[in-house]
């Protein structure tokens, strides 16, 4: 397939996600408000971070973001039971796993955006919802979700299943 960005590039339609439709909803509230409403929380926000990398390369942002959030929490990569790394392009989760030392068996266990689609503006909620369901179904305590943003930045969130 013809490279998408440069004549000698490796990113092409076969290893890139397609823009797709999709939706998910996440309700974030305080424990007190949830209790007052009679709701049973399924997870708690542990920590989040944003970090940047070379904006020309752009796709490496999740690596320093992950290092930053793990440093904030005191957790190690081995403490995390599942990783959802947005797969807008196939090299992103592969480079992330290689650099962080994450167990690839815990990476995008239900499939990534190349298989499932990339609903722009909704991908973060879709990733988080999919991760929460996987954590619930597999008795996993901690999950980490990360994705690239524009300009070389990336965000990352760690949640704990309750």
What is the set of domains in the chain, with CATH numbers?
Answer: 13-161 (3.40.47.10)
Model confidence pLDDT, tens digit, residues 2-27: 877 778 777 766 666 677 777 888 99
Q: pTM (2 decimals)?
A: 0.88
Residue 124: its H or E element = helix 123-137
Q: Determine the pLDDT at residue 117.
A: 77
**What's residue 85's pLDDT?**
96
Distance in angstroms (rounded) separating the CA atoms of residues 153 and 64: 9
Positions in the chain whose pLDDT score sits under 50: none
CA distance 15 to 114: 7
- Tokens linked to 103: 């167990």
Please give the distance of CA 47 from its chain centroid, rounded to a whole number: 13
What pLDDT score was predicted for residue 16?
Answer: 63
pLDDT of residue 1: 78
């Amino acid at each position: 397939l013809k490279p998408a960005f440069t004549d000698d590039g490796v990113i092409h339609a076969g290893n890139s996600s397609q823009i797709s439709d999709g939706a998910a909803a996440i309700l974030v509230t305080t424990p007190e408000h949830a209790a007052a409403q009679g709701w049973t929380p399924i997870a708690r926000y542990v920590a989040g971070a944003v970090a940047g990398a070379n904006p020309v390369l752009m796709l490496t942002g999740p690596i320093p973001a992950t290092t930053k959030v793990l440093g904030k929490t005191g957790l190690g990569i081995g403490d995390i039971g599942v990783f959802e790394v947005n797969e807008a392009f196939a090299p992103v989760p592969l480079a992330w796993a290689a650099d962080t030392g994450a167990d690839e068996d815990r990476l995008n266990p239900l499939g990534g955006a190349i298989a499932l689609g990339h609903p722009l503006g909704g991908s973060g909620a879709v990733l988080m919802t999919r991760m929460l369901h996987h954590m619930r179904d597999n008795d996993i305590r901690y999950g980490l979700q990360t994705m690239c943003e524009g300009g070389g930045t990336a965000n990352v969130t760690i949640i704990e299943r309750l």
